[in-house]
Structure formats: C-alpha cells, structure tokens
Amino acid sequence: MKLYIGTITIVMVCISGLSNPLMAQPEREILNEAIITPHVGNELPLDAQFVRYSGEPIALGNILNDERPVVLCLVYFDCPMLCKLAASGLVKTVSSLDENVGVDFDVVFVSFNPLDTPEKAASARNQALRNYARDESGRGWYFLTGEQPAINQLTESVGFHYIWDNETKQFSHAAGLTVISPDGVITEYLDGVRFSPAELRTAIERADRGELVESPAVTFARCYLYDPTTGKFGSLVQWTIRILGGLTVAFIAVAVYRLNRRSSISEQSQPSS
C-alpha cells in the first residue's frame, strides 16, 4: 500500500508539471497570427525585387520564366529551429528524387527577415549544395534576401503570416512549401518540415501541368521556441513536452501495476504461520 501511495504521488507530480503555467503556450494572439492561408491560383508578384547570395539583384520574374516549376520555402536564415528543419527536410527529399534541380524544377528559399544578408544566404546555400551533392554549379537553387516592401509583396501573395516577438527576439511563423507553376501561379501547398519524395514529385508534376490543388485541411506546423526568461514554450516544443510527459506517466503507471502485482503474488505465495 505504501508503494502504491508513493507512486501515485509521483504520477500526480508529473501531471501537475505538465499543467504548470510556466510551460504554457505563448500568447494565443501571436500563434494565431503565425499561419499560412493557402492562396491557390494566386500569381506571385513577378516584379518583386530581391537579392541573390552573390549580392546581385533579381526579380522573381527572372526565376519564374515559364521554364520550370518552382518549390518555394519561406525562411529566415537565423531561425534556430523550424526553418532549419524545413530546409534540411526539403534538401533531403530533393536529393532522393530522380529529377534534378535546375533541369526539372527550381528550389527557391526567400528570407522574410529584412535584416538577413546575402552573406547569410550564401552560407545557407553552401550547406544545401553540400547536402544535395549533385551539381556543384548550384543551378536552379536560389537563396534570396530582400527589403520589407518586396517581402510583403511575396508573403501576402502566398498567404504567409508571421510576427516578430520582441520579448523572445524571434519570429513566430508557420512551416510549409508553396509549389508554383512555371508561369508563376500557386498550384499547391505542402505542410510541415518533412516531405515524402512521392508527395513532392507529384506536386511538382502537377505544377508543371498548371493543375491547381486545393487542400481541404492543412495544418501548418508553427515555430516558436522556449524563452528562458519567461519559461514559456512554443507550440512545437509544448506538444513535445506533453507527449513525452504522457509517455512518462504511462510508463510509471505500468511499472506501478507490475510492482503491485508481483507484491501481491509474493504475499499469496508465502506460507501462513
């Protein structure tokens, strides 16, 4: 009985830890603004001017020039979490395709942080090309930075909403890919930070045909990190804590059951005096 009461106390402490207000989600209004609203059928602002990793200016229309479909990933290059996951997930998936970047489709990373520099874009590009390990020329890979007006044009056209949190000095934003036809029309959205090769290949093929795909239910992962000064966790981290906490409680409960069962069997097997 003492073992049972003691273990129940431990379980209650675990549960109370999960509901601790210090682990609460960030302000709901911040997360509610960090969404992607799919705008399938919209045309990208082809006249929007950005800057390549090399410092050369380039308009989106020079990338989307009726030659190949484009896979667009909006990031900021200092993002410590979700952007890196999305970028590495995209590069990994692209590397497994038979189709080639720069031949069958292009990949475009655009920073929505106006303070990002071509140097940061160059660093991200170098990392991606190392992981891609096919064409060292980098043909078809674009890593762009830009000023706020151009960023606004692009993010508004694709329905990408993000917000700067001055307390944590981070952007809260969603993660996903926008697939675009060769003539600059949004054809499809892919959710998350990991993409199956078959899923991405099919989306690119549909974009090449100009086929529009409405997503009936798209739940984009949202990025928001732990802030050590306030003790708050973001949505992704919070759910990780909840899942791990739930598994811990389940493990303890099973352990309690087994220990109590063994104790009961041992007591029953002892000869009575």
Best CA proximity match to 73, nearest among 38, 107, 34, 124: 107
What pLDDT does residue 29 have? 58
Query: Does some domain include residue 137?
Result: yes
User: What's the CA gap between 151 and 147, in Å, rounded?
Assistant: 6
Q: For 136, which DSSP code?
A: T
What is the rounded average pLDDT of the residues 145-149?
A: 97
Indicate whether 266 belongs to any domain.
no
For residue 60, is pLDDT > 90?
Answer: yes
Q: Is residue 203 part of a domain?
A: yes
Tokens 């990994």 — which residue? 92
- pLDDT value at residue 216: 54
Give domain status of residue 3, yes or no.
no
Say whether pLDDT at 229 is over 60: no
Residue 172 lies in a domain: yes
Q: What is the CATH number of the domain that holds 156?
A: 3.40.30.10
The pLDDT of residue 220: 52
Question: In terms of pLDDT, which residue wins out, 210 or 244?
Answer: 210
Total number of domains in the chain? 1
Domain of residue 118: give its range.
28-223
pLDDT band at 256 (very low <50, low <70, confident <90, very high): confident
- Give the pTM: 0.71
- On whether residue 235 sits in a domain, the answer given is no
Note whether residue 95 is domain-resident: yes
- Smallest CA-to-CA distance from 50 within 64, 32, 68, 40 is with 64
More confident of the two residues 197 and 33? 197
Mean pLDDT check: name the lowest of 8-17, 124-133, 187-196.
8-17
- SS3 for 51? strand
Q: What is the pLDDT of residue 236?
A: 46
Q: Average pLDDT in the 10-23 region? A: 37
Alpha-helical regions (H) of the chain:
2-18, 28-33, 60-63, 82-95, 118-132, 148-158, 197-209, 235-269
Mean pLDDT of the chain: 78
Residue 23 lies in a domain: no
